[in-house]
């Protein structure tokens, strides 16, 4: 099965030059909408963290971070971040953010073990955001409200893009369909998790799949999640139907973060109780770190979605294998 899909008769609406100016426009518009909707302030963020800090995101647990030695730090090793999921929560504490306020940042990462296809690159760029919440806000209803706020920011950005570039006719449905991962498995018991997403999102173009990480009735999770940032009962993925590729596109993974109870439970499930030795994890257990909600939202993915692009390489510069280059030659203009 080919991993690179070239839609029949595909032609990019915008040329390379217009695409570049449109990418800048999308990013400016969305940052304005995002900060207004979620009360966020921009902060600077690290490209790498110490390998023994416990702050790097281990994703599904098998991806290897890019690491390097630092002679000036007497043998200390740095790791290029996979995401800032844990770093952001500690930053809210360090920067003294209060309830109802939060931060966002431009996150750049290298995921060396990523399987390359139309939606995946070894280079990852996303808006990472995090906001301080109260104990009373650790609910599904609050999560859903935040998802709707985020979707409204995306819809506003899409509307402004269409005004500036009328030829771009992508329409984002503002109505969010919420479904749990277990409900999806019940609906489509004979499909894989990815096939379930495609089947459901085709009928519900803006979908948020709730509760990802824990085992379903089948014994398998819908998708893997690290045990030490999202509360698996209060998280999810935001997906949109991508017409050129005829598939569901995940744009954001987000959720209410673990409190002490959820952290201990999820670490035990994953056999990762040793992580409690890290400062970050001990600060959750002793109540030092604030309760938060947060997530990441792909910048290249958003540009790809809103501009109707068929390959992520049309909106970012990365490295591609021969199969991808051969499949796209003369058909999809990779940068």
Known catalytic residue at 314: no
Catalytic residue flag (residue 111): yes
Dist. CA 332–CA 335, nearest whole Å: 10
Are 221 and 185 within 8 A, CB to CB?
no
Examine the residue annotation and report whether 126 is marked as an active-site residue of this protein: yes
Report which of 107, 118, 103 is spatially closest to residue 39, judged by C-alpha positions.
103
Residue 183, φ and ψ in degrees, nearest 5 = -60, -40
Q: Say which residue the tokens 């390959």 belong to.
A: 311
Q: What angle in degrees, to the nearest 10, is found between the helix axes of 299-307 and 16-38?
A: 120
The first and second tokens of residue 261, run together, are: 């109870």
Token pair listed for 291? 């309760």
Catalytic residue, chosen from 111, 138, 257, 301, is 111
The answer to whether 328 touches 4, Cβ cutoff 8 Å, is: yes
Separation of alpha carbons 263 and 100, rounded Å:
23
* DSSP, residue by residue, 26-84: HHHHHHHHHHHHHTEEE----SEEETTSS-S--TTS-PPPPEEEEGGGTTEEEEE-S--
Q: Point out the catalytic residue in the list 57, 58, 259, 314.
A: 57
Q: One of 83, 121, 126, 158 is an active-site residue; which one? A: 126
The tally of CA atoms less than 13 A away on the side-chain side of residue 330 is 1
Catalytic residue (choose from 31, 130, 198, 250): 250
Exactly one of 58, 237, 259, 314 is catalytic; name it: 237
Contact 194, 220 (CB under 8 A): no
**Is 250 a catalytic site residue?**
yes
How far apart are the C-alpha atoms of 320 and 37, rounded to whole Å?
A: 36
First to last CA, the chain: 25
Which one of the listed residues 121, 181, 253, 266 is annotated catalytic?
Answer: 253
**Measured distance CA(31)–CA(306) in Å, rounded:** 15
Catalytic residues: 57, 111, 126, 237, 250, 253
């Amino acid at each position: 099965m080919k991993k690179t899909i070239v839609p029949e008769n595909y032609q990019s609406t915008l040329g390379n030059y217009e695409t570049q100016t449109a990418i800048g426009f999308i990013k400016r518009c969305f940052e304005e909408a995002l900060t207004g909707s979620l009360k966020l302030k921009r902060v600077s963020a690290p490209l790498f963290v110490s390998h023994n800090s416990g702050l790097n995101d281990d994703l599904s647990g098998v991806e290897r971070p890019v690491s390097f030695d630092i002679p000036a730090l007497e043998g200390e090793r740095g790791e290029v971040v996979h995401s800032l999921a844990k770093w952001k929560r500690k930053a809210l504490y360090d920067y003294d953010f209060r309830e109802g306020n939060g931060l966002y940042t431009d996150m750049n990462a290298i995921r060396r073990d990523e399987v390359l296809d139309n939606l995946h690159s070894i280079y990852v760029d996303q808006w990472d955001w995090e906001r301080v919440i109260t104990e009373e806000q650790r609910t599904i209803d609050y999560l859903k409200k935040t998802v709707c706020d985020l979707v409204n920011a995306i819809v506003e950005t899409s509307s402004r893009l269409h005004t500036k570039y009328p030829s771009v006719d992508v329409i984002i449905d503002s109505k969010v369909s919420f479904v749990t991962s277990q409900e999806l498995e019940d609906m489509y018991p004979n499909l894989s998790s990815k096939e379930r997403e495609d089947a459901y999102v085709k009928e519900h173009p803006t979908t948020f799949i709730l509760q990802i990480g824990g085992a379903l009735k089948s014994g398998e999770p819908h998708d893997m999640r690290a045990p030490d940032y999202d509360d698996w009962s209060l998280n999810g993925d935001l997906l949109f139907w991508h017409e050129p590729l005829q598939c569901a596109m995940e744009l954001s993974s987000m959720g209410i973060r673990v409190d002490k109870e959820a952290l201990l439970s999820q670490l035990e499930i994953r056999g990762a109780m040793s992580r409690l030795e890290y400062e970050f994890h001990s600060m959750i257990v002793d109540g030092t770190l604030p309760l938060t909600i947060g997530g990441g939202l792909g910048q290249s993915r958003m540009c790809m979605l809103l501009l109707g692009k068929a390959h992520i390489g049309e909106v970012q510069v990365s490295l591609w294998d021969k199969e991808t280059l051969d499949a796209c030659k003369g058909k999809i203009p990779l940068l």
